[in-house]
């Protein structure tokens, strides 16, 4: 079993100590921490999210898994931040949120970390954020990009609601809208009229840069 598979398994089991141990092992072996988070911990959380949707596990188990992953990610975050260095030039203002009805924010938090260390000014609204609040905050902070994520298929529809509401208010062209999350696809992004789609945090940075150039 690879270290990434072990990381995923530790998250599914909600094993805090094992997640910490594996994070330290990643650092010791010089493994890319972002890859470890995305291909290890995040994969485990995807499994947890799917199991929760199917009724195989309940909220307490999901919270244990999230706690375990957060413990491991916290160790790796310091390594990512220190290796990225400081960025004097801001590349744009990005408003991030997990869409309403969805309490999963691990993926969004990874995007926040990577974008912040890549020079973006990131405002994080957290999880289960209602569409009207996302729009209000985007206008308030004068965001360049609105980035929303979802881990459950049942909440993806609110991404379309967000874009429709921006259009109804006559402010659709004031913001670039990016979507992402485990069940989200390029096809879905195109169908709802999103400006960009990213499968992971590293791609999100590239997509955001490209959008700001347009």
Average pLDDT, 10 consecutive residues per value, the chain (214 residues)? 96 96 96 89 84 85 87 87 53 94 85 82 96 98 97 94 98 97 95 96 90 88
Burial label for 170, CB within 10 Å (0-12, 13-18, 19+), is exposed
Only one residue has tokens 């260390």, namely 117
Q: Which of 87, 81, 15, 21 is nearest to 44 (CA)?
A: 15
The whole-model pTM stands at: 0.70
Report pLDDT for 88: 39
The pLDDT, as a whole number, for residue 104 is: 83
Which stretches of 37-130 are DSSP H helices? 42-53, 59-84, 106-117
Q: β-strand 145-149 against 93-98: which pairing, if any?
A: parallel
Residue 27 tokens, joined = 């650092």
Burial of 81 (0-12, 13-18, 19+ CB in 10 A): middle
What is the torsion angle, in degrees rounded to the nearest 10, for the CA atoms of residue 7, residue 2, residue 203 and residue 63? -20
Domains, the chain, with CATH or none: 3-84 (1.10.1240.10), 93-213 (3.40.50.280)
Per-residue confidence (pLDDT) for residue 89, from 0 to 100: 44
What is the spatial order of strands in the sheet that 176-180 belongs to? Answer: 121-124, 93-98, 145-149, 176-180, 196-198
Residue 86 is predicted with a pLDDT of: 44
């Amino acid at each position: 079993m690879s270290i990434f598979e072990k990381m995923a398994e530790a998250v599914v089991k909600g094993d805090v100590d094992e997640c910490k141990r594996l994070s330290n092992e990643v650092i010791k072996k010089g493994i890319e921490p972002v890859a470890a988070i995305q291909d290890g911990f995040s994969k485990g959380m995807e499994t947890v999210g799917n199991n929760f949707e199917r009724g195989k596990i309940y909220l307490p188990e999901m919270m244990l898994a999230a706690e375990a992953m957060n413990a491991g990610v916290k160790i790796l975050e310091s390594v990512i931040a220190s290796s990225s260095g400081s960025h004097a030039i801001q590349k744009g203002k990005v408003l991030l949120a997990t869409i309403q009805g969805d309490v999963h924010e691990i993926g969004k938090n990874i995007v926040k970390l990577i974008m912040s260390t890549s020079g973006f000014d990131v405002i994080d609204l957290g999880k289960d954020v209602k569409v009207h609040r996302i729009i209000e905050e985007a206008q308030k902070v004068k965001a360049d990009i609105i980035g929303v994520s979802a881990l459950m298929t049942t909440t993806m529809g609110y991404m379309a609601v967000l874009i429709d509401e921006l259009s109804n208010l006559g402010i659709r062209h004031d913001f670039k809208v990016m979507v992402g999350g485990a069940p989200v696809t390029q096809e879905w992004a195109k169908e709802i009229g999103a400006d960009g789609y990213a499968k992971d945090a590293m791609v999100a940075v590239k997509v955001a840069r490209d959008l700001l150039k347009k």
